[in-house]
């Protein structure tokens, strides 16, 4: 059985089908190439707000209750999400209800009413979502890190927006964004499960026949400029200090991203990683500590995040910097390289067990403009990474002028001075 099939329909809509023999579920996923990086300051958060409004009613399903009951009655799972560059909607159902999922998701996507009264009510919901993020340091500190990296440009703004901007939304602004950012050109429909690709193609052609034909929107290119280590402290009385310490790196198309993924695993990708052993096991400073690579179409970074004792910030930061420096100067061992490759191979395999994860894996590559690779092809790229590749990347990224540190905890400007003294590789 083929791993996937990509079809471009007459409307320009792209369809990916992923046959999964004997799967009990079918996932229908729609990805649109738009997000907060496509916004202007006055409508920051509109991509996310619009995602909410799709669930408020169509002519066929006039309200939220009717929309949600459609899949609740058959035990389906469904949700939506917004990132900086992608907005997605998905439904996962028993395979015998594939038509229900296709009808439901296409109806919302193409026929939502975007009622004015619903819009006013939803402002309160989204503002409470914003408050939830602000009260969740593990999420908030990551936003502060990107604010530090990118500043006052779309890449540095919150996906959910700011309170006053949300309050100023109008139906006209919402409709303008919808009609200018949702089109045949930047939309990918993906169906994964025990399906026949040809039959699905015909169904999708019918269900999405009303999709609007227009050019895809463009976004401003992310600008990066830094000459010395950056620090952003957010004072909050907390029982635990949370920080993100990382470096500017490469975008999602850069071939060096595979070496970056291995570096992130070696540093903090699992419970036997360098930083997990150093920060948590040997020094007892944190419950969680992890390192990850985040790449978008025009920027990227590697970051270590941890929640630590309030009186241990400098020590924890020093431990992370020590590992960054060691990687830059000495690279990693052959044993670490092989272990990281084996870890990524196993993690990739486990992550693709379900139809929804398979749909996301293939459709996300397509909507982001990447060459679509199978899991096996991605693992091949990782297997090609050498010790010298790791060393070259480490030497390039672990530099003082690329360092950035965001912190949430009981700290103020006087603490910034002492952090500045140690923030160097």
Structure token pair of residue 79:
């949700």
| Interstrand relation of 241-248 and 25-32 (parallel, antiparallel or unpaired) | unpaired
β-bridge mates for residue 22, sequence order = none
d(CA 408, CA 141): 6
- Of the candidates 302, 235, 247, which has an alpha carbon nearest to the alpha carbon of residue 423? 247
β-bridge mates for residue 26, sequence order = 93, 193
Cβ–Cβ under 8 Å, residues 226 and 402: yes
Question: How close are the terminal C-alpha atoms of the chain, in Å?
Answer: 50
- Of the candidates 355, 362, 364, which has an alpha carbon nearest to the alpha carbon of residue 93? 355
Could you count the other beta carbons within 10 Å of the beta carbon of residue 173?
A: 16
d(CA 221, CA 219): 6
User: H helices within 54-157, ranges in order?
Assistant: 64-72, 98-111, 116-134, 137-150
Residue 212 annotated among the catalytic residues of the structure: no
Active-site residue among 2, 21, 39, 51? 51
β-bridge mates for residue 87, sequence order = 32, 82
Say which DSSP state 311 is in.
Answer: G
Cα atoms in the Cβ-side hemisphere of radius 13 Å centred on 372: 20
* Angle, in degrees to the nearest 10, between helices 98-111 and 64-72: 160
Residue ranges with strand state E in 270-317:
286-295, 300-308
Instruction: Determine the longest span between alpha carbons in the chain, in angstroms.
Output: 65
**387: helix, coil or strand?**
helix
Structure token pair of residue 205:
């052609």
Cα Rg, the chain, nearest whole Å = 23
The catalytic residues are: 51
């Amino acid at each position: 059985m083929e791993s996937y099939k990509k079809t471009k329909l007459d409307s320009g809509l792209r369809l990916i089908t992923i046959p999964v023999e004997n799967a009990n579920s079918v996932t229908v996923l729609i990805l649109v190439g738009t997000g907060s990086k496509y916004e202007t300051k006055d409508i920051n958060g509109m991509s996310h707000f619009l995602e909410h409004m799709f669930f408020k009613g169509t002519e066929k399903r006039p309200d939220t209750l009717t929309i949600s009951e459609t899949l609740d009655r058959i035990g389906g799972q469904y949700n939506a999400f917004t990132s900086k560059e992608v907005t997605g909607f998905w439904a996962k159902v028993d395979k015998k209800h594939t038509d229900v999922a296709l009808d439901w998701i296409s109806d919302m996507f193409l026929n939502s009413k975007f009622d004015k009264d619903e819009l006013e009510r939803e402002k309160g919901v989204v503002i409470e979502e914003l408050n939830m993020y602000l009260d969740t340091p593990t999420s908030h500190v990551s936003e502060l890190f990107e604010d530090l990296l990118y500043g006052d440009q779309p890449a540095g703004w919150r996906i959910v927006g700011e309170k006053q901007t949300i309050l100023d939304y109008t139906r006209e602004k919402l409709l303008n964004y919808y009609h200018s950012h949702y089109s045949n050109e930047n939309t990918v429909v993906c169906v994964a499960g025990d399906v026949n690709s040809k039959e699905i193609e015909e169904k999708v052609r019918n269900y999405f026949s009303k999709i609007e034909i227009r050019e895809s929107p463009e976004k401003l290119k992310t600008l990066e400029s830094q000459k010395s280590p950056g620090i952003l402290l957010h004072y909050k009385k907390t029982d635990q200090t949370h920080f993100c310490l990382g470096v500017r790196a490469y975008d999602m198309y850069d071939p060096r991203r595979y070496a970056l993924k291995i570096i992130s695993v070696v540093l903090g990708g699992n419970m036997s990683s360098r930083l997990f052993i150093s920060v948590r096991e040997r020094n007892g400073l944190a419950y969680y500590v992890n390192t990850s690579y985040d790449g978008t179409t025009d920027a990227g970074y590697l970051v270590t995040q941890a929640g630590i004792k309030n009186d241990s910030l400098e020590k924890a930061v020093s431990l992370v910097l020590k590992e960054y420096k060691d990687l830059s100067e000495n690279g990693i061992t052959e044993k670490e390289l092989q272990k990281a490759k084996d870890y990524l191979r196993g993690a990739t395999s486990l992550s693709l067990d379900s139809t929804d994860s398979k749909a996301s894996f293939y459709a996300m590559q397509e909507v982001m403009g990447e060459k679509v690779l199978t899991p096996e092809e991605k693992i091949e790229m990782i297997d090609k990474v050498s010790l010298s590749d790791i060393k070259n990347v480490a030497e390039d990224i672990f530099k003082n002028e690329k360092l950035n540190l965001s912190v949430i905890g009981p700290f103020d400007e006087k603490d910034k001075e002492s952090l500045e003294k140690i923030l160097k590789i």
